[in-house]
């Protein structure tokens, strides 16, 4: 089983997507988009940029939890991860996005 992009409409009518690993866990959450076409472009950007480690920016929250953001070539944020309890768990999350992102199928919720 492969990963899946779940595209959905947010409460305010904007669009967003989550990338789910094969086990169903959310591994990347997009920004909000005003148009569905823009959200679909964001999904294509994940597919294109996920394989490259240089597109992942490793960060730490104010309370010390590691997380990452995936950026496009133009340095625009495509999506971000959840907060992790360790850097090792964050690195596993990055590897999961690299593995699942390029081939994930699209599901519209």
pLDDT tens over the chain, length 109 residues: 689 999 999 889 999 999 999 999 999 999 999 999 999 999 999 999 999 999 999 999 999 999 999 999 999 999 999 999 999 999 999 999 999 999 999 999 8
pLDDT of residue 11: 84
pLDDT of residue 60: 97
d(CA 81, CA 53): 15
pLDDT of residue 37: 97
d(CA 12, CA 55): 29
Please state which architecture CATH assigns to domain 4-108: Roll (2.30)
pLDDT of residue 1: 60
pLDDT of residue 44: 97
- CB of 8 within 8 A of CB of 15? yes
Q: Which residues of 60-73 are buried (b: 16+ CB within 10 A; e: fewer)?
A: eeeeeebbbbbbee
Domain ranges of the chain: 4-108
């Amino acid at each position: 089983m492969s990963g899946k992009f779940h595209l959905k409409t947010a409460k305010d009518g904007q669009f967003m997507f989550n990338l789910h690993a094969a086990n169903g866990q959310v591994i990347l959450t997009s920004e909000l988009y005003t148009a569905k076409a823009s959200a679909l472009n964001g999904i294509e950007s994940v597919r294109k940029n996920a394989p490259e480690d240089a597109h992942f920016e490793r960060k730490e929250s104010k309370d010390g939890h590691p997380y990452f953001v995936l950026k496009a070539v133009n340095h625009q944020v495509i999506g971000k991860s959840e907060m992790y309890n360790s850097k090792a768990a964050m690195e596993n999350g990055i590897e999961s996005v690299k593995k699942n992102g390029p081939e994930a199928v699209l599901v519209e919720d």
